[in-house]
Structure 1
Amino acid sequence: MPNPPSRMGEGSSIFPVVSKEHEIVLFSSTAIALYGYDQGMMSLINTNKSYLHTMNISEESPIVGIIVSVYYLGCTIGAVISSKLADKEGRKPSIFVCLATTTLGNILMFISGLSSLAPSGSSSWNGKAIICMLFGRVVMGLGVGGIDVVIPVYSSELSSDGARGKALAQEFQMNIFGLLMAYTINLGITIALGKQNQWAWRVPIIVMQVFPVLLMSVISQLPETPRWLMSQDHKEDAKNALEEIHGKDEAKNKFDELKRVHDDEGSESVGYWDMLLPGGSQFHPTMVTIMGQVNQALTGYGAVSVYGPQIFGLLNFPTRKAEILTLGNYISYFFFMTLAWLLIDVHGRRKLMVWGSVGLSGSFLLLTLFGGLAQSPKIPDLAVEIPGGITLFFATAVFGIGWLATVWLIPTEIYPSTARAQGAAVSVIVWGLANFAITLLTPIGFNNLKYWLFLVFAVTNAFAGWWTWRYSPESGGRSFEENQEFFEAAAKEGSWLVRRVDGGSFQLMPKDSSSEEEEDGDGVRSPLLRRRTGGKR
């Protein structure tokens, strides 16, 4: 495997003027951008005439949704494979393999039906182009699904208890940057070349190669997580990694703390049956993980990301105006994600999700009203377009702040080290299956429900908020070990209601979460990554 534990990042640096902590965040953020890039990439490819002709399908065909959604099936398989690889070989080797797999899938998509360099792209594939495209989508899903498992684990295991949310929210802001980049390239080329030109859809696909190729070229210069190295009894490598991150002065204390946590956890292995069967040791946190991803899918924003122009079309916006407004929505989405990483470690994951659902449910009720008014010839177009567009922009911002990063963060915080990668895999598997269903059914909803699709999302958001309020504990501001105490207390209490477990203490962030980390003598609360100022805390 690449980058064996004993040689990971010895004294190397990607950018000498940037701290190792910031290098890790930058690397992880760029990797997460792959997830967003695919969504932005496919949103306009779905309506490209050359693409539809090459795949031999019509724009109204349900196969359009199938091509989009099989990617998520690949993600579910990639999640299982990468979690096992991450536990056995390390976080870094698993990330490298996922990046290489993404590259292969992307190339298969690019060459689908390619047999002529002419703009029209007349194909001699005799109807086989769609097979290559479907296979490429699945293979790319394998890679991106694996990245979505391992990167949050890698990042959280290298972040302090009070900054895990900020780190992951910043990474998911880059996810939106990927979406924005893909859509901007796609829209610009489409306007320049037209929807009949094959390069208007092939170029955005191949540009995606920039991300995995760049990341594979620098990954050897980053450290493996000391927690994983310690779990494999690579004590010397764990020391070296800690020295690389913190310097020799702090590394010894960090190592002693990490060893104590490792000894407390023990080496008991956790299998998927322990997570998925009632009575299993990790069944409760797994249900929290599963429902988090189900509820995120129920917000409907997988559909808004992939089918942005069609969503604006439900408010009767003409095609080109809908496409430009979608770009504006993505730009707003990117900037509002700044609020996510500013708020997530202050107010916590649970509060952001609950209030996010309230805001989304109300927004979709308004969009249902505007969609209905848009059908009346007596209502001026601008009377619907302006408030409808503003509402959709607002809803997108609310989703980004409340739901985008939170459900990916929670699984990295509530499992012991021996089950963390598997918990993240379960999260991606459910995300893949849920988004497979959403992206497959959304085009059918466009054709049959029209603007009533907004009402469906209003109801599903209300359910997501209700479930989160009742059953999802607040995991922010606490160590991995402290979060596991919630599930131990729930088992003793015989209830999963957050307000009943441990006197309701897990309804909110801990009172001292905004203060500095506890003194070095407390092994479980002291961070593995800490922002340093002049060498002191």
Structure 2
Amino acid sequence: MSYFSSKFLSLWRSKKSQVVLFSSTAIALYGYDQGMMSMINTNLNYLGTMGIEYNSPIVGVIVSVYYLGCALGAVIFSKVADRWGRKKAIFACLTMASLGNAIMFIAGLRGMKGALAVMILGRVVMGLGVGGIDSVIPIYSAELASDEARGRALAQEFQMNIFGLNMAFAINLLATRALGKRSQWAWRVPIIVMQAYPLVLLAVIGRLPESPRWLIYHGKEDKARLAFEDILGSGGGEEGEGEGDAKFEELRQSHEQEADKHVSYLDMFTPGHPQFHPTIITIMVQVNQALTGYGAVSVYGPQIFELLGFSVWTAEDLTMANYVSYFILMTIAWLLIDAMGRRKLLLGGSVVLTSCFLLLGLFAGLAMHSGSLHVYQPLVAIFGTVALFIATGAFGIGWLSTVWLVPTEIFPTTARAQAAAVSVIIWGFANFAITFLTPVMFTYLTHYIFIVFAVTNAIGGVWTYFYLPESGNRSFEDNVEFFEEAAKQGSWRVNRVKDGRWKSMPYNGVLLDGSREAHEQEPLLQRVEDQMP
């Protein structure tokens, strides 16, 4: 067997690699839905089957009701994840997503009555599953990742999100070009192809380990010890049993300290409770992400390029190119997120997004009034396209994975599942509002919609600068300490807590006060290259 073949087999057998691949593929479900609906919304047979007009607000309702399902699914499946385990919750989420997808596919098939109601039902059911996935997968991944590689792992997973978006839009584009916008199969085929994701994942989930943290926190210590040995020793190395015992003892001691600290949803929203402050941060990062406007850009990409003056076909081709660029640029996110930290990426993303949306507002306005202003419209459209491509990259690098990572890092284990659920709930409601209002704003605000998003991006950046602590390269326990110190200080301003210690990341396991991290420094999911002999 060759040198490279042996490395590949070692990585393929590694539970660490399998978890990353599984989690990434599961997250791709969310991206697939965005890419899938963006062209379905303009299919004439789809609109006729649903009994709605091209510019009807019902188009936005069908898209956005999915996010309400996501919010409810986050609550349901986070409870399942806490009570019955991360793996069982993920299995249930995938089953629900598969069912919802099947319901969407049959809406209006062979003259079935009530097509609109069936489609909305399918969107809600699929949202239940995907919302559950979005709440449980980041927890599962973070609980198995090392402190210095949590960001990289989640950013790689969200790059697969963009892969799903690309795949869906490409299938949509090919089906539409081959069959035409009046064909029902041009919109049904992209829907049913999505079934590949949950079915494949359901087939392989049995090979994955349960979270040792969850096992310890539920008194299953023997299984937790075996899970550690399985995770740490499956890559062909010799570290399994000894390192597994060390990690087991570390987490067992952590559990003993937190065992009597149950946290309810009511506690999280009660001012003065220790988890109230991190809950508000979780809410705000999701609200600010929604207000970047990029959820609307993802779903209504072709319409934006049409605003810049492009024909329908050219707008669809440019949307596909923008998504491909999005996927490629996400590589920068997982290279930088653990090197620069969460705050710097978010702040940099806000600056670029604000600038690009201001430019988009200008260029779209010039394109719409090019005749009266005597402006060369094709040149203006090109400038607008460049601005939109840059905005896409800025969102992917700065605002996509970071806001999902922060809630998994700033809560104790007893509140982490609830925190992930709150994160998805806020994401669901915020994106429901944005995707519901976007078609209306396109109709009544036209190019001024970009000015609105420029302002909201600036607001999000200012809030991040003052109130978001840097959670990268720190243990869960050290991030919890920030909130304890903030309570003692009586201020939520990051620069006022311990002289701004949480404004930046510590490096090489050394904190700013010179001490070393005390907990969770040994990796469970190491970088791929660390597993190579």
Q: Could you say which TM-score interval applies, normalised by the shorter chain?
A: over 0.9
- The equivalent position to 1:354 in structure 2, one of 340, 347, 354, is 347
Report 1:228-307 matches (<5 A): 228-246=214-232, 247-307=240-300
Residue 514 to residue 62, structure 1, CA distance change in 2 (3 Å): farther
TM-score normalised according to structure 2 size: 0.94
Give the C-alpha shift of residue 279 in structure 1: 1.5
Give yes or no for contact 2:274–2:484 (8 Å, CA) kept in 1. no
Give yes or no for contact 2:26–2:197 (8 Å, CA) kept in 1. yes
Give yes or no for contact 1:42–1:68 (8 Å, CA) kept in 2. yes
Aligned to 2:394: 398
Aligned to 2:6: none
- The equivalent position to 1:323 in structure 2, one of 316, 323, 336, is 316
Q: Secondary structure at the match of 1:233?
A: coil
- The equivalent position to 1:73 in structure 2, one of 68, 73, 89, is 68
Cα distance between partner residues in 1 of 2:171 and 2:35 = 9
Give the C-alpha shift of residue 382 in structure 1: 1.8
Give the C-alpha shift of residue 263 in structure 1: 1.7
Give the C-alpha shift of residue 527 in structure 1: 3.2
**What amino acid maps onto 1:411 in structure 2?**
P
Residue 521 to residue 421, structure 1, CA distance change in 2 (3 Å): closer
Q: Does 1:449 align with 2:445?
A: yes
Residue 348 to residue 136, structure 1, CA distance change in 2 (3 Å): same
Residue 51 to residue 250, structure 1, CA distance change in 2 (3 Å): same
Aligned to 2:134: 148
Deviation sequence 1:323-351 (CA, Å, 0-9, x none): 00000000000000000000000000011
Give yes or no for contact 2:16–2:524 (8 Å, CA) kept in 1. no
Report 1:13-92 matches (<5 A): 17-92=12-87
Q: Once structures 1 and 2 are overlaid, which stretch shifts more, 309-318 or 418-427?
A: 309-318
Deviation sequence 1:459-481 (CA, Å, 0-9, x none): 00000000000001000000000
Give yes or no for contact 1:15–1:23 (8 Å, CA) kept in 2. no
Q: Does 1:176 align with 2:172?
A: no
Aligned to 2:3: none
Aligned to 1:158: 144
Q: Secondary structure at the match of 1:383?
A: helix
Aligned to 1:376: 370
Deviation sequence 1:381-438 (CA, Å, 0-9, x none): 2211111111100000000000000000000000010110110000000000000000
Q: Secondary structure at the match of 1:449?
A: helix
Give the C-alpha shift of residue 531 in structure 1: 4.8
Q: Which has the higher helix share?
A: 2
Residue 57 to residue 233, structure 1, CA distance change in 2 (3 Å): same
RMSD over aligned CA atoms reads: 2.0
Give yes or no for contact 1:260–1:523 (8 Å, CA) kept in 2. no
Cα distance between partner residues in 2 of 1:495 and 1:308 = 41
- The equivalent position to 2:481 in structure 1, one of 480, 485, 500, is 485
Report 1:125-140 matches (<5 A): 125=113, 128-140=114-126
**What amino acid maps onto 1:376 in structure 2?**
S
Q: Secondary structure at the match of 1:255?
A: helix
**What amino acid maps onto 1:181 in structure 2?**
M
Q: Once structures 1 and 2 are overlaid, which stretch shifts more, 145-154 or 249-258?
A: 249-258
Q: Secondary structure at the match of 1:195?
A: coil
Give yes or no for contact 2:357–2:453 (8 Å, CA) kept in 1. yes
Cα distance between partner residues in 2 of 1:106 and 1:39 = 13
Give the C-alpha shift of residue 265 in structure 1: 2.2
Give the C-alpha shift of residue 264 in structure 1: 2.3
- The equivalent position to 2:403 in structure 1, one of 385, 403, 407, is 407
Gaps spanning 5+ residues in structure 2: where?
1-8, 233-239
Cα distance between partner residues in 1 of 2:68 and 2:242 = 47
TM-score normalised according to structure 1 size: 0.93
**What amino acid maps onto 2:336 in structure 1?**
L
Cα distance between partner residues in 2 of 1:65 and 1:251 = 50
Cα distance between partner residues in 2 of 1:526 and 1:257 = 10
Aligned to 2:211: 225
Deviation sequence 1:103-131 (CA, Å, 0-9, x none): 0000000000001xxxxxxx252xx1000
Gaps spanning 5+ residues in structure 1: where?
1-13, 116-122
Deviation sequence 1:505-529 (CA, Å, 0-9, x none): 10001133599xx999944433333
Cα distance between partner residues in 2 of 1:467 and 1:205 = 38
Aligned to 1:472: 468
- The equivalent position to 2:508 in structure 1, one of 503, 512, 522, is 512
Residue 534 to residue 489, structure 1, CA distance change in 2 (3 Å): closer
Residue 367 to residue 535, structure 1, CA distance change in 2 (3 Å): closer
Q: Does 1:191 align with 2:177?
A: yes
Give the C-alpha shift of residue 155 in structure 1: 0.2
Residue 239 to residue 284, structure 1, CA distance change in 2 (3 Å): same
Give yes or no for contact 1:153–1:424 (8 Å, CA) kept in 2. yes
Q: After TM superposition, which residue ranges in structure 1, 4 or more long, deviate above 6 angstroms?
A: 518-521, 532-537
Aligned to 1:6: none
Q: Secondary structure at the match of 2:262?
A: coil
Deviation sequence 1:342-395 (CA, Å, 0-9, x none): 000000001100110000000011111101111221212221111111110000
**What amino acid maps onto 1:301 in structure 2?**
Y
Aligned to 1:434: 430
Give the C-alpha shift of residue 259 in structure 1: 1.3
Cα distance between partner residues in 1 of 2:478 and 2:531 = 28
Number of matched pairs: 514
Q: Sequence identity, in percent?
A: 61
